[in-house]
Amino acid sequence: MKKHLLSAADLSRDDAELVLATAEEMRSLADRPIKKLPALRGRTIVNLFFEDSTRTRISFEAAAKRLSADVINFSAKGSSLSKGESLKDTALTLEAMGADAVVVRHWASGAPHLLAHAGWSKSSVVNAGDGTHEHPTQALLDAFTMWRHLAPSNGGSLDGRRVVIVGDVLHSRVARSNALLLQTLGAEVTLVAPPTLLPYGVDTWGVTTSYDLDAVLPKADVVMMLRVQRERMNAAFFPTVREYSRRYGMDGRRMATLQDHTIVMHPGPMIRGMEITADVADSERSVIVEQVTNGVAVRMAVLYLLLGGSEPAIGGDE
Amino acid sequence: MSTYLITGASILDGEPTDVLIRDGVVARVSTSSTTGGATDEATDEAATGSTTEVVDGTGMVLLPGLVDLHTHLREPGREDAETVETGTMAAAMGGFTAVHAMANTEPVADTAGVVEQVWRLGREAGHCDVFPVGAVTVGLQGERLAELGAMADSAARVRVFSDDGRCVSDPVLMRRALEYVKAFDGVIAQHPQEPRLTEDAQMNEGELSGRLGLRGWPSVAEEAIIARDCLLAAHVGSRLHVCHVSTAGSVELIRWAKSKGWNVTAEACPHHLLLTDQLAASYDPIYKVNPPLRSADDVEALRAGLADGTLDVVATDHAPHPHEDKDCEWQAAAFGMLGLETALSVVQEAMVDTGLLTWAGVAERMSYAPARIGQLPGHGRPVAEGEPANLVLYDPSARHVVEASELASLSRNTPYAGRELPGRVVATFLRGKPTVLDGKLA
């Protein structure tokens, strides 16, 4: 693996499969009475959040603590309009404190890239979501969840599995990272959205796109619903919430057209009644809660592989 | 005043020539005849008692002093980025003898008082002539016309008006501005950017913006305004100048407007002739500029448009910014890049070395045409006997690596740092007085 995880495109297929296999080991730890490994003892991991995200932060925090790392949470307020301390000064401060890895969430696309490459810091940088760019650990936990459900009956891989990602692709870092990673892992990705919410140039991503959710559901192995923020409503991306839900929402009727083994995912937080109805979110097919569990295991795997080096995470002599 | 003899330089694309500069004018142009010229000079010296400094121009090109239609000098208001003094030093180092200072200062140059202040600062600095551009609307707010007539009648004699940095997007206001400046033969220099289509736009809208998650700045936002303004200018019979054309579609529209015989001129910036949007993949905001760097196809179209005269002018859009405004997240960074000191080298690389323009073509695009559009007396004149000695001596065979810390500008935001570019400005003369000599500020 590279020193940083900035984009899902940084991962080769071997890298990605190593993360998934390591995550599987990490997940088995959850069944042990003592859920902690000494692997990163004495290492310092900073969660640097320029944008609120309690879920992602506590997931990384739990992952780091289970690996015995010291964790520092650093919330830096500020936006492009109300400038707080600059990214550079924050990075220099963290460098001076001796951070081994910086997990960064930022409102600006490319901020983790800058942190990794501007020469301000020598730490490993993990992108925990940047602007409308990428969220690679979310894609890894999504892939891990799919892999656990679908790979055993598919020769141990996601080759040829059909993943449908539905919603605000334009503003979604989750969709970008998933489109990259799932194709690396051999899956076929279809993005479904109203034309206004597909990015310019999406035809170069190697994915299939569709405006018609009903047409693609019967063949899907995975349906991933994306959150649609209500503020998009006022920007004429679609006429009304009701029309959006009718055309692109996942409800009981649509769920009935899925194959038996198809799973339904959502990166959270959900807006029930908008992109997904309660009966789908709470159904047998829904793996939304499992995604959260898997998130900790995948982030443990990523931190371990970036910082821990070559030794097996779970030694035989414990 | 000293006398200068430039020996062996080619005037534009001509044969090696000796050019004598005396009393602020080109006193004599003679075929280079080894020592003959110098002997004549010795005679002249004896007669006048003055000294003649010989500048060896062997292998170099002598061009008319360059004229920039689009410079941001930042003073008053942002003296941390640039001052009239440092900006005109940068201009001289780039071979410019006249620059138009854009109006988006603090306070905005929307009154006779502010334009006269900038004009006076330029005269005091003395490195090149400064011609203030007046704002079209009060405070660049796009709501009501600034006192265009007062600025035209002021000591600064403003003829070019622009809200550059912002588009005069209101079609009625644009129409009125185009009509109104006819009274003093002014020109509206439009910054073509449809504001609603470019809210929070960060880079060229294309395949890369989608991948990088940076909000796109679509070509149509430029082209829609250019189309509208060409039609308006034709309708009211006025002059329109289009700033920093960046897309292939814009070149097509301007070509079409010119084919109709409409009075439309346009400029291209050096960076749009050389750099592409792919540089944004670094997320390094040194490449963040407005309008944004475009695709390789757009670059090709701009070069072709500049070669065939669809685009009349190369203008730098020299936009200094302090370090901290570029040493940050892309989205938080300021738009703009330095241009004055690298413009001629970039034009050589993009246009001359590619065979698209001769040096005569460069003189037209970087001196004659901008001086005509800005109606600058004494600038943009041919290198000929009796003409004002506004000249630049340029060595096209030199190569240099751009070093940001060596620039005369107060700011360092050059996108060419570390890049090797052809050519070197050896000397710049402003009315016979060297502002740059031997590649250094005189």
Q: pLDDT confidence of A316, banded at 50, 70, 90?
A: very low
Q: Which of A177, A204, A202, A180 lies closest to A192 in space, CA to CA?
A: A202
Give how far A306 is from chain B: nearest CA, Å. Answer: 22
- pLDDT (mean) for B419-435: 98
- Write out pLDDT tens, residues A227-268: 987 777 778 899 999 999 999 999 999 999 999 999 999 998
- Our CA-based measurement puts residue B98 at a distance from the nearest CA of chain A, in whole angstroms, of 36
Q: Which residue among B205, B324, B331 sits closest to A80, beta carbon to beta carbon? A: B331
Q: CB A110 to CB B205 under 8 A?
A: no
B82-124 pLDDT tens trace: 999 999 999 999 999 999 999 999 999 999 999 999 999 999 9
Which residue in B has a C-alpha nearest to residue A82's C-alpha?
A: B332
Q: Mapping DSSP to helix (H, G, I), strand (E, B) and coil, where does residue A108 land? A: coil
Q: Is the pLDDT of residue B327 over 60?
A: yes
**Which residue from A minimizes the CA distance to B196?**
A235
* Tally of residues, chain B: 442
Mutate to test the interface with A, among B198, B205, B283 (most CBs of A within 10 A): B283
Residue A16 has pLDDT above 80, yes or no: yes
Q: How many other CB atoms are found less than 10 A from the CB of residue B187?
A: 24
3-state helix, strand, coil split of chain A in percent (to 5) is 45, 15, 40
Give me the mean pLDDT over the B212-234 stretch. 98
Contacts of B352-358 with CB under 8 Å at 24 or more apart are: B352/B396, B353/B422, B354/B303, B356/B303, B356/B304, B356/B306, B356/B307, B357/B306, B357/B307, B358/B12, B358/B13
Query: Nearest chain A Cα to B199, which residue?
Result: A235
pLDDT at A6 over 90: yes
Q: Does B107 sit behind a cis peptide bond, omega within 30 degrees of 0 on the bond before it?
A: yes
Chain A residues in contact with B218 (beta carbon < 8 A):
200
Quickly state the pLDDT bin for A82 (edges 50, 70, 90): low
Does residue B259 surpass a pLDDT of 50?
A: yes
Is the model's pLDDT at A81 over the cut of 70?
A: no
Calpha distance A285→A145 (Å, rounded):
12
Find chain B residues with C-beta within 8 A of A131's C-beta. Answer: 213-214, 331
The CA distance from A201 to the nearest CA of chain B, in Å, is 4
What are the distances in angstroms from CA A255 to CA A147, A217, A267, A279?
21, 8, 18, 9
From B289, B276, B283, select the one nearest B329 (Cα to Cα): B283
Question: Which of B44, B229, B317, B325 is an active site residue?
Answer: B317
Reduced 3-state DSSP string for B237-271: CCCEEECCCCCHHHHHHHHHHHHCCCCEEEEECHH
Q: How far is Cα of residue A181 from the mean position of the Cα atoms in its chain? A: 10
CB pairs under 8 A between A and B: 74
Considering only CA atoms, which of A182, A193, A164, A165 is closest in space to residue A259?
Answer: A164
Length of chain A: 318
Neighbouring CB atoms inside 10 A of B147's CB total 15
Whether A110 sits inside 8 A of B214 (CB atoms) is yes
Name residues 7-66 of chain A within 8 A of B (Cβ). none
In chain B the first and final C-alpha atoms are separated, in Å, by 14
Question: Is the pLDDT confidence value at B328 over 50?
Answer: yes
Q: What average pLDDT score do residues B382-405 get?
A: 97
**Predicted confidence (pLDDT) at residue B1 exceeds the cutoff of 70:** no
- Identify the closest residue of chain B to A132 by CA–CA distance: B213
DSSP type of residue B31:
E
Contact call for B283 and A110, based on CB within 8 A: yes
pLDDT score of A234: 76
Q: What is the pLDDT of residues B162-175, one digit of tens each?
A: 999 999 999 999 99
Residue spans of the domains in chain B: they are 3-62+385-441, 65-374
Closest CA–CA distance from residue B228 to any residue of chain A (Å): 24
| Coil, helix or strand at residue B377 | coil
Q: Which CATH class is domain B3-62+385-441?
A: mainly beta
DSSP run (H or E) holding B13: none
Q: Nearest-CA residue of chain B relative to A198?
A: B210
Q: Most B CBs within 10 Å: which of A87, A114, A134, A178, as the mutation test of the B interface? A: A114
- CB nearest to A131's CB, from B210, B327, B331: B331
A209 touches chain B (CB under 8 A): no
Q: What is the mean pLDDT of chain B?
A: 95
Contact list in B for residue A107 (CB cut-off 8 A) is 331
Is 60 exceeded by the pLDDT of residue A215? Answer: yes
Active site residue B40: no
**Proportion of chain B in helix, strand, coil states, percent, rounded to 5:** 35, 25, 40
Is the pLDDT at B39 greater than 60, yes or no?
no
Angle between helices A288-307 and A136-150 (to 10 degrees): 120
Cα of A165 vs its chain's centroid, Å: 13
> Across the interface, do A133 and B213 touch by the CB < 8 Å criterion?
yes
Min Cα distance B285 → chain A (Å) is 10
DSSP secondary structure letters along B69-103: EEE---TTT-TTT--HHHHHHHHHHTTEEEEEEPS
Mean pLDDT of the B136-148 span: 97
Q: Does A200 touch chain B (CB under 8 A)?
A: yes
CATH C-level class of B65-374? alpha beta
Q: What three-state secondary structure class fits B20?
A: strand
Chain B contact for A234, CB < 8 A? no
CB contacts, 8 Å: A199 with chain B = 209-210
> What's the predicted TM-score (pTM) here?
0.93
| Cα–Cα separations (whole angstroms), residue A254 to A215, A245, A267, B349 | 10, 12, 19, 59
Identify the structural domains of chain A with CATH numbers, from first to last. Answer: 8-134+292-307 (3.40.50.1370), 136-291 (3.40.50.1370)
Q: What pLDDT score was predicted for residue A317?
A: 41
Across the interface, of B208, B218, B332, the residue whose CB is closest to A108 is: B332
pLDDT score recorded for residue A35:
84
By C-alpha distance, the chain A residue nearest B332 is A80
